[in-house]
Protein backbone atom coordinates (compact mmCIF):
# COMPACT_ATOMS: atom_id res chain seq x y z
CA UNK A 1 0.00 0.00 0.00
CA UNK A 2 1.44 3.35 -1.01
CA UNK A 3 1.76 6.33 1.27
CA UNK A 4 -1.09 8.12 -0.43
CA UNK A 5 -3.49 5.22 0.12
CA UNK A 6 -3.53 5.02 3.91
CA UNK A 7 -6.84 6.75 4.39
CA UNK A 8 -8.29 9.69 6.27
CA UNK A 9 -7.55 8.56 9.85
CA UNK A 10 -3.73 8.52 9.61
CA UNK A 11 -3.81 11.75 7.62
CA UNK A 12 -5.90 13.46 10.29
CA UNK A 13 -3.60 12.06 12.99
CA UNK A 14 -0.61 13.66 11.25
CA UNK A 15 -2.42 16.99 10.97
CA UNK A 16 -3.49 16.91 14.63
CA UNK A 17 0.05 16.02 15.73
CA UNK A 18 1.57 18.81 13.63
CA UNK A 19 -0.94 21.33 14.97
CA UNK A 20 -0.23 20.20 18.53
CA UNK A 21 3.51 20.70 18.05
CA UNK A 22 2.90 24.12 16.51
CA UNK A 23 0.62 25.13 19.39
CA UNK A 24 3.14 24.06 22.03
CA UNK A 25 5.92 25.92 20.21
CA UNK A 26 3.82 29.07 19.86
CA UNK A 27 2.87 29.01 23.54
CA UNK A 28 6.52 28.55 24.54
CA UNK A 29 7.67 31.45 22.38
CA UNK A 30 4.87 33.69 23.64
CA UNK A 31 5.78 32.86 27.24
CA UNK A 32 9.39 33.83 26.60
CA UNK A 33 8.41 36.94 24.62
CA UNK A 34 6.11 38.29 27.32
CA UNK A 35 8.97 38.34 29.82
CA UNK A 36 11.02 40.85 27.82
CA UNK A 37 10.76 43.72 25.42
CA UNK A 38 11.47 42.38 21.94
CA UNK A 39 13.98 44.49 20.04
CA UNK A 40 14.85 44.49 16.40
CA UNK A 41 15.69 41.02 15.16
CA UNK A 42 12.45 39.37 16.23
CA UNK A 43 12.88 35.65 16.85
CA UNK A 44 16.70 35.89 16.90
CA UNK A 45 16.54 38.54 19.60
CA UNK A 46 14.26 36.40 21.76
CA UNK A 47 16.38 33.27 21.31
CA UNK A 48 19.73 34.95 21.90
CA UNK A 49 18.54 36.78 25.04
CA UNK A 50 16.80 33.71 26.47
CA UNK A 51 19.15 30.87 25.56
CA UNK A 52 22.46 32.68 25.05
CA UNK A 53 24.44 34.03 22.13
CA UNK A 54 25.83 30.64 21.09
CA UNK A 55 22.41 29.06 20.62
CA UNK A 56 21.02 32.31 19.25
CA UNK A 57 23.74 32.39 16.60
CA UNK A 58 23.27 28.72 15.78
CA UNK A 59 19.54 29.27 15.26
CA UNK A 60 19.79 32.79 13.85
CA UNK A 61 21.77 31.86 10.75
CA UNK A 62 19.33 29.18 9.51
CA UNK A 63 16.45 31.53 10.34
CA UNK A 64 18.03 34.29 8.24
CA UNK A 65 18.71 31.92 5.35
CA UNK A 66 15.18 30.53 5.44
CA UNK A 67 13.68 34.01 5.32
CA UNK A 68 16.00 35.08 2.51
CA UNK A 69 15.14 32.02 0.46
CA UNK A 70 11.43 32.35 1.16
CA UNK A 71 11.40 35.81 -0.46
CA UNK A 72 12.77 34.25 -3.63
CA UNK A 73 10.24 31.43 -3.59
CA UNK A 74 7.36 33.83 -2.92
CA UNK A 75 8.51 36.04 -5.80
CA UNK A 76 8.55 33.12 -8.21
CA UNK A 77 5.14 32.04 -6.93
CA UNK A 78 3.78 35.52 -7.62
CA UNK A 79 5.31 35.48 -11.09
CA UNK A 80 3.79 32.08 -11.86
CA UNK A 81 0.40 33.29 -10.62
CA UNK A 82 0.58 36.34 -12.85
CA UNK A 83 1.04 34.05 -15.86
CA UNK A 84 -2.61 33.01 -15.49
CA UNK A 85 -3.63 36.63 -16.03
CA UNK A 86 -0.88 37.65 -18.48
CA UNK A 87 0.55 34.54 -20.21
CA UNK A 88 3.20 36.54 -22.07
CA UNK A 89 4.86 37.78 -18.86
CA UNK A 90 8.35 36.25 -18.39
CA UNK A 91 8.57 34.57 -14.98
CA UNK A 92 12.26 35.33 -14.22
CA UNK A 93 11.83 39.04 -15.02
CA UNK A 94 8.76 39.41 -12.79
CA UNK A 95 10.46 37.49 -9.98
CA UNK A 96 13.59 39.64 -10.23
CA UNK A 97 11.54 42.84 -10.27
CA UNK A 98 9.56 41.68 -7.24
CA UNK A 99 12.75 40.91 -5.31
CA UNK A 100 14.22 44.32 -6.21
CA UNK A 101 11.04 46.13 -5.14
CA UNK A 102 10.97 44.20 -1.86
CA UNK A 103 14.65 44.95 -1.20
CA UNK A 104 14.22 48.63 -2.01
CA UNK A 105 11.12 48.89 0.17
CA UNK A 106 12.93 47.23 3.08
CA UNK A 107 16.05 49.40 2.64
CA UNK A 108 14.15 52.59 3.43
pLDDT digits (tens, 9 = 90+) for 1-31: 455 677 888 889 999 999 999 999 888 878 7
Q: How many CB atoms lie within 10 A of CB 75?
A: 21
**Orientation angle between helical segments 8-33 and 43-51, nearest 10 degrees:** 70
- Provide the CB-side half-sphere exposure for 95 (13 A, CA): 16
Q: Is the pTM of this model over 0.85?
A: no
Pseudo-torsion of CA 53, 58, 60, 61, nearest 10°? Answer: 130
The answer to whether residues 60 and 69 touch, using CB atoms and an 8 Å cutoff, is no
d(CA 43, CA 25): 12
Amino acid sequence: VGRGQRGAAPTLAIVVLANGITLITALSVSAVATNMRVGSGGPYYIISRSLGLEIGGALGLPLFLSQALSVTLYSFGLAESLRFVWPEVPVPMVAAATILVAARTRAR
